[in-house]
Amino acid sequence: MMIKGARENNLKNISLSIPKYKLVVLTGPSGSGKSTLAMDTLQRECQRQYMESMGLTSDSISKPKVESITGLSPSISVGQHITNRNPRSTVGTVTDIYTYVRFIFSRLGDRICPSCNGTISPSWEAAGHIAEEDEYMGHQTIHCPHCNAELEKLGMSHFSFNKPEGACDTCSGLGHVASVNEAAVFNPELSVRDGGVASLNGVHRDIQIRILVAAGQHFGFGFDPDRPLKDLGEIERDLLYYGVESEAFKQHYPNIKPIQGTKFEGVIPGLWRRYKEKEGEGGGTEKDGRFFHQQQCPECQGARLKKEILSVSVAGASISDVTNWSFSKVLEWTVGLQEVISPEAHHLLDPILHDLPTKLKRIMDVGLGYLAMDRQTVTLSGGEAQRLRLASLLGSGLTGVLYILDEPTTGLHPKDTIGLIHVLQELRDLGNTILVIEHDIEMMRAADHVIDIGPGAGVNGGKVVGEGSLEDLMASELSVTGAYLRNESVASPSYNRRTGTGQHLAIRGAHLRNIDIPVVSFPLGTLISVTGVSGSGKSTLVFDILAQGMEPDQKPSGCEEITGLEHVGDIVIFDQTPMGRMQRSNVATYTDVFTHLRQLFAGLPDAKARKLTAKHFSFNTPGGRCETCQGLGVLSVDMNFLPDLEVTCHDCKGRRFMDEVLQVQYEGFSISDVLNMSVAESLPVLKSQTKIADLVEMLCEVGLGYLQWGQSVKTLSGGEGQRIRLAKELSKKTKKHTLYLLDEPTTGLHPSDIKQLHILLDKLVESGNTVVVVEHSLELIRESDWVIDIGPEGGAAGGELVAEGTPEQVAEVTASHTGQFLKRILAEGL
């Protein structure tokens, strides 16, 4: 594939050739232009040419800024963004493994008769003992061979929690039930007007107050919105909490009907209405989610299915047992089935018993053998979701395809990276081209061809600074990757290990999921890496046991006790939770920089002369924004059966605002110009703005200087979002001893950027704090003061404390996979 004159974003008119049917790694510093080249140029042109070949062209569909691209193949991009956020979506359903398991249970399951508790074998049903058949509904019934009771014949739909035949009636197949968390909704010390009802805010609160007061007047009493909730009478409380249509309120005025303008819904009924409206949309209840408790369903105990379905067993296991197992254990069970089933069943299930182990092995090859089928897809990391999709692509049998993958090693232990490389090589050997955006050195070593983009980030990147083999990169003077491989990066490691304050946090009797650790200590005043293979239990230990156990007034969960809490003043958690899915939320709005920018522009003499306020400099409200695109700068084009395509707004040309607003300039730049700047580019422009200058500098220091202020947070990886939150925290001044917990902060970072991140984490520790990172990056692990290694394997074979100590001490533990990789990197000095 020949790319000529690529100029998209920061690309400097580059031309290069990408060899077909090879494993090609695209590397370079964070923000150098790798994703721009792979996704915004190559992938977009593949899609454009594909649509053009189908007669779906439109004048509004723009070609990427490139002179030409020839030799293209149909492309499939596998990113890290989770698109399906439906709470009913599980790992089992998205991989189709659950479909196979349902088929096995519907054909081989031994069921229990609810009338006599006798066991009904599948051979009895298969023998045709049909009592009655409903041709219209497709239902069949059978007779119990023991008591002659009439039972419905079980099919695949009975084993699905998404079908009424199988779903638990109490939780509708979700496995949990919700209840309103009144303590989070109501503050008895405040009035309604002062924020006593957390779910009522802004303009919505003012409207509801008017309806509340009108309702009180209609029913003959005065509702005072300025009275603290604790001082409200029973009638006022029932009106506020439950509304005029509730039985609780009607009992006070049985003969008075509410009229228009007085029908206050009630806070709790309103929360339930919004919850049910959004239920099933996946994450749609995010705004109101904090007002609800999610509890395990008391009927099915989280298994999602009816009790009679859960009593069905195959080889001694229920379908709930199988869905709770890791994929590696499901593989053992599947293989074992072949030895215990009858010849007739073998004939019926032979295709299933052949395909299912193959699918399971592919999932294990991409390092996800520890996952269980009942795991909700919304809880997966971006890397896990990407590798699940990659495993399914292996079974497609497609050839001649260009696969573009965005950092598939994210979240993988070096041990698991080897299996992923084999999967990519297998895809390549089928006759496909694999283009991988990656920083992992092992992936580079396995590549047929490496392309290095750089030399820096943002405006300092966008050039091809090296390509070929790793040796070719090492020979390039401009290549930062080559400099790292030559061991010339930033500074040679000193490994001055801190011993800390002498105080410790200690978790005793940790026992949650696969974790079983008698005692583990975290030395305070140090940088600690918690390591282990994927699925070993690292996140469970740090975020579900340690973090949850430090919540005030909360009894430790998953352990007997945590000691040393008195030495910690505060806890701050930086996880990989997505920053949001709002199209209007961008880097500037998320960091609150946009608020200051609007005030800055509104305070300029030109703005005052035009009578423009801060409101006019917002793209979220009418007044100054372009109304054609409503301030988004883009329009969405319906592509029928293909995903919608975003094109630049023809009125504002992507600038978001009206011309009058754009004519107001600060230091020669309009507010649209500033939003289009990278963080690093804006530093000289905004350095005099003391309220935000520290944050802008800190964003650059955490390696995010390449991000554009107007860039949607939807496009950011979990690692980028985490580092934005880290920058906001670092720009604050605190005197407390704070415990910082970070989930893989090196995600998306080039090895040269990891050194800078380490310097920042060191700053936190040197300021008298403790930093705990869950991490796979050997570059950061080797710089840590203390390492806690969990394992030895993932899933049921993990959860133990394999090693703890300095990196040098852990490197000497032969049972530690991390230790063995550490030993090599410490010896190499990379």
DSSP states of 414-483:
HHHHHHHHHHHHHHHHTT-EEEEE---HHHHHH-SEEEEEESSSGGG--EEEEEESHHHHHH-SS-HHHH
| H or E element, residue 800 | strand 800-805
Q: Express each pLDDT in 143-179 by its tens digit.
A: 899 999 999 999 999 999 999 999 999 999 999 999 9
Contacts of 442 (CB under 8 A, 6+ apart): 409, 414, 417, 418, 421
Angle separating helix axes 97-108 and 327-340, nearest 10 degrees: 30
Structure tokens at 256: 């008075």
Q: Express each pLDDT in 735-755 by its tens digit.
A: 789 999 999 999 888 888 888
Give the HSE-up count for residue 20: Cα atoms under 13 Å, Cβ half-sphere. Answer: 14
Binning pLDDT at 50, 70 and 90, where does residue 286 land?
very low
CATH class of 504-578+718-828: alpha beta
> What's the confidence (pLDDT) of residue 283?
42
Mean pLDDT of 16-35: 95
Whether residue 365 contacts residue 391, with contact meaning beta carbons closer than 8 Å, is answered with yes
Binning pLDDT at 50, 70 and 90, where does residue 756 land?
confident
Angle 750-466-752 from CA coordinates, rounded to 5°: 20
Per-residue pLDDT at 61 exceeds 70: no
Mean pLDDT of 323-348: 91
Q: Express each pLDDT in 424-456 by its tens digit.
A: 999 999 999 999 999 999 999 999 999 999 999
Give the start-to-end residue ranges of the domains of the chain: 2-82+380-485, 179-295, 504-578+718-828, 587-713
- Three-state DSSP class for 152? strand
Residue 792: is the preceding peptide bond cis (ω within 30°)? yes
Q: Express each pLDDT in 533-589 by its tens digit.
A: 988 999 999 999 999 888 776 678 899 999 999 999 999 998 877 666 567 899 999
CA 273 to CA 97: how far, in whole Å? 34
> What's the confidence (pLDDT) of residue 202?
66
| Domain pair 179-295 / 587-713, same fold | no
Name the average pLDDT for the chain.
90
Q: Express each pLDDT in 215-228 by its tens digit.
A: 999 999 999 999 99
Q: Where are the alpha helices (DSSP H) in 687-777?
A: 690-701, 718-730, 751-766
Q: Express each pLDDT in 624-643 by its tens digit.
A: 999 999 999 998 876 655 55
CATH homologous superfamily for the domain 587-713? ABC transporter ATPase  like domain (1.20.1580.10)
Q: Express each pLDDT in 359-405 by its tens digit.
A: 999 999 898 999 999 999 988 877 788 889 988 888 888 999 999 99
**Of 395, 350, 353, 388, the residue nearest 370 (C-alpha):** 388
Q: Express each pLDDT in 240-250 by its tens digit.
A: 999 999 999 99
> What's the confidence (pLDDT) of residue 288?
53
CA 561 to CA 508: how far, in whole Å? 5
- The CATH code of the domain at 179-295 is 1.10.8.280
**How far from chain centre, in Å, is Cα 645?**
23
> What's the confidence (pLDDT) of residue 79?
79
Lowest mean pLDDT among 44-58, 261-275, 293-307, 668-682: 44-58
Lowest mean pLDDT among 51-55, 281-285, 421-425, 694-698: 281-285
> What's the confidence (pLDDT) of residue 280?
47
Q: Express each pLDDT in 175-195 by its tens digit.
A: 999 999 998 899 999 999 999
Count the neighbouring beta carbons within 10 Å of the beta carbon of residue 54: 9
> What's the confidence (pLDDT) of residue 281?
47
Strand pairing class (770-774; 738-743): parallel
pTM assigned to the model: 0.82
> What's the confidence (pLDDT) of residue 605?
97
Binning pLDDT at 50, 70 and 90, where does residue 54 land?
confident
CA 310 to CA 303: how far, in whole Å? 8
Please give the single-letter amino acid code of residue 96: D
CA 550 to CA 543: how far, in whole Å? 10
**Of 687, 747, 678, the residue nearest 718 (C-alpha):** 747
Mean pLDDT of 458-486: 92
Binning pLDDT at 50, 70 and 90, where does residue 136 land?
very low
Mean pLDDT of 647-652: 91
Strand pairing class (786-791; 402-406): unpaired
Residue/partner pairs of 467-474 with CB below 8 Å, 24 or more apart: 467/16, 470/444, 470/445, 473/444
- The CATH code of the domain at 2-82+380-485 is 3.40.50.300
